C-alpha cells in the first residue's frame, strides 16, 4: 500500500508540473516564423496582426523571417522546433505544393498541428503598363504565336502562382516561360520595374501598383470577380472551365503541442483578427480574413495538397524547373 501511495505521490508531482506549464503559457516571448523575406505578402499579413496578438497574449511575439526554397526552409525550422508552444509558423499556399515539388524531411500534416486559416484572396495575372497586353486573350494569342518566349514571374518554383499558371497554360494550350524569384517582394520589384512582362501574384503585394496603373490586371483566380480587383473577370468567367486557385495564409504549430496551448493560441488569434483595425488593414491589402477553426484549417490543407499535387505530377514540376 505504501509503495502504491508513493507511486501516486510521484505521479501527482509530475502531473501538476505539466499542467502548470500549460496553464502559465505563455511565460516568455513567442517566435512567429515567417518563411519568406520581408516585403512579401506573408510578412505583410503577419506584421498586421502581430501587435494585437502579443497584446492579447501578454508576451512579445517576435517575427523571424526565414526565407528560401519557396517557404520550405522556414517551415523546416518550425518542424524541428520543440512542441512547447513557443514556435509557430505562418505559412503561405506553397506549404501545400512544396512536398510534391521537393524532397522535404517532413510532411505538413504530420509535422504540424493546424491552428487557423488566417485569410484567403485572389491571385491576379498582371502585365506591366508598357506591354501591349490589355486582356488575358491578348496574352494567350501572343503566346500561341511565339511559344515559350513570353516570360512570367512568380514568388518561387512550385508555389500556387506557378502551379496555377501552369494549369492555365495546360487548359489554354499555350506556353510561357517561368521566371521564379525568392519571394513576393523581389518579384514585385522586378515586375514594377518592367524587367518581366507578366507577373502572377497574390493581390496583397501588388494592389498598390494596380491602383497606380503600373501593373495591369487581366484575370483573377477566384471563381468569380473579386472585390479586391474591381472590374477584372476571373479566368473561369473568361472561358477557363471551373478554374479556381485562391491564395491563402495559415498559422500552424508544431505537432505534439499540448492541445490547451493550441486552443489558447487559436482563441488569441481569432480575437486579434476580429479587431476592426486589424481586419481593415488586411482587407485593404487585398485579402479576406477567414479565422477558421483548426479542424477546418486541417481539412483545407489536406484538400490543397491533394488537388495541386496532381497538377504538379501531371506537369512534372520540380524544384529546379
* DSSP string computed for 142-207: HHHHSTT-SEEEESSTTSHHHHHHHHHHHHHT---EEEE-SSHHHHHHHHHHTSSSEEEEEGGGTH
Predicted pLDDT of residue 318: 85
CA dist 96 and 202 (Å) reads: 16
Cis omega (within 30 of 0) for bond into 43: no
Q: Are residues 72 and 152 in the same domain?
A: no
H/E stretch holding 289: strand 288-289
Task: Tell me which residue range forms the domain holding 256.
Answer: 28-120+246-314
Whether 21 is in a domain gets the answer no
Predicted pLDDT of residue 156: 85
Predicted pLDDT of residue 320: 61
Predicted pLDDT of residue 104: 92
CATH assignment at residue 107: 3.40.190.150
Predicted pLDDT of residue 18: 59
Predicted pLDDT of residue 228: 94
Contact 53, 292 (CB under 8 A): no
Asked which of 205, 220, 235 is the last residue of a domain, the reply is 220
CA dist 56 and 159 (Å) reads: 33
Contact 114, 298 (CB under 8 A): yes
Whether 13 is in a domain gets the answer no
Count the domains in the chain: 2
Q: Are residues 68 and 157 in the same domain?
A: no
Asked which of 167, 186, 220 is the last residue of a domain, the reply is 220
Whether 87 is in a domain gets the answer yes
Predicted pLDDT of residue 70: 85
Coil/strand/helix, residue 32: strand
CA dist 42 and 93 (Å) reads: 10
Q: Are residues 212 and 256 in the same domain?
A: no
φ, ψ of residue 13 in degrees (nearest 5): -75, -35
Q: Are residues 197 and 185 in the same domain?
A: yes
DSSP 56: H
Whether 65 is in a domain gets the answer yes
For the chain, give the number of residues.
321
Q: Are residues 106 and 192 in the same domain?
A: no
Q: Are residues 106 and 179 in the same domain?
A: no
Whether 16 is in a domain gets the answer no
As given in the structure block, the three cell numbers for residue 205 are 503585394
As given in the structure block, the three cell numbers for residue 276 are 476592426
CA dist 279 and 259 (Å) reads: 26
Single out the residue of 50, 48, 52 nearest to residue 61, CA to CA.
Answer: 50
> How much is the pTM?
0.86
Cα dihedral angle (267, 268, 269, 270), rounded to 10 degrees?
A: 50
Whether 241 is in a domain gets the answer no
Whether 240 is in a domain gets the answer no
Q: Are residues 109 and 251 in the same domain?
A: yes
CATH assignment at residue 208: 3.40.190.10
Predicted pLDDT of residue 257: 97
Ordered mean pLDDT values, 10 residues apiece, the chain (321 residues): 45 56 89 92 96 98 93 96 98 93 94 98 97 98 97 91 96 96 89 98 93 98 94 96 94 97 98 98 93 97 96 87 44
Q: Are residues 88 and 136 in the same domain?
A: no
Supply angle C-alpha 214, 184, 198, rounded to 5: 45
How many CA within 13 A on the CB side of residue 230?
Answer: 2
Whether 152 is in a domain gets the answer yes
Q: Are residues 65 and 100 in the same domain?
A: yes
Predicted pLDDT of residue 157: 85
Q: Are residues 108 and 39 in the same domain?
A: yes
CA dist 78 and 32 (Å) reads: 9
Secondary structure of the chain: what % helix, strand, coil (to 5)?
45, 20, 35
Amino acid at each position: 500500500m505504501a509503495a502504491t501511495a508513493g507511486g501516486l505521490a510521484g505521479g501527482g508531482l509530475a502531473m501538476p508540473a505539466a499542467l502548470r506549464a500549460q496553464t502559465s503559457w505563455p511565460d516568455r516571448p513567442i517566435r512567429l516564423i515567417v518563411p519568406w523575406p520581408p516585403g512579401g505578402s506573408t510578412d505583410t499579413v503577419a506584421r498586421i496582426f502581430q501587435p494585437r496578438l502579443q497584446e492579447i497574449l501578454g508576451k512579445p511575439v517576435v517575427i523571424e523571417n526565414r526565407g528560401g526554397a519557396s517557404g520550405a526552409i522556414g517551415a523546416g525550422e518550425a518542424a524541428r522546433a520543440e512542441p512547447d508552444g513557443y514556435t509557430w509558423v505562418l505559412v503561405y499556399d506553397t506549404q501545400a505544393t512544396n512536398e510534391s515539388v521537393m524532397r522535404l524531411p517532413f510532411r505538413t500534416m504530420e509535422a504540424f498541428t493546424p491552428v487557423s486559416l488566417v485569410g484567403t484572396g485572389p491571385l491576379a495575372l498582371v502585365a506591366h503598363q508598357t506591354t501591349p497586353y490589355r486582356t488575358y486573350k491578348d496574352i494567350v494569342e501572343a503566346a500561341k504565336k511565339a511559344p515559350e518566349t513570353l516570360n512570367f514571374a512568380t514568388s518561387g518554383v512550385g508555389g500556387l502562382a506557378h502551379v496555377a499558371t501552369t494549369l492555365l497554360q495546360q487548359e489554354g494550350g499555350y506556353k510561357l516561360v517561368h521566371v521564379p524569384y525568392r519571394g513576393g517582394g523581389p518579384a514585385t520589384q522586378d515586375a514594377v520595374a518592367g524587367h518581366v512582362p507578366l507577373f502572377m501574384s497574390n493581390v496583397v503585394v501588388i494592389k498598390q501598383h494596380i491602383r497606380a496603373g503600373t501593373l495591369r490586371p487581366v484575370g483573377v483566380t477566384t471563381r468569380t470577380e473579386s472585390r479586391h480587383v474591381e472590374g477584372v473577370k476571373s479566368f473561369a468567367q473568361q472561358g477557363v472551365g471551373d478554374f479556381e486557385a485562391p491564395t491563402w495564409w495559415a498559422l500552424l504549430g508544431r505537432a505534439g503541442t499540448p492541445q490547451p496551448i493550441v486552443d489558447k493560441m487559436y482563441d488569441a488569434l481569432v480575437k486579434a483578427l476580429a479587431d476592426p483595425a486589424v481586419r481593415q488593414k488586411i482587407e485593404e491589402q487585398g485579402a479576406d480574413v477567414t479565422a477558421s477553426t483548426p479542424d477546418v484549417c486541417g481539412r483545407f490543407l489536406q484538400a490543397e495538397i491533394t488537388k495541386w499535387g496532381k497538377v504538379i505530377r501531371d506537369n512534372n514540376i520540380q524544384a529546379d524547373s
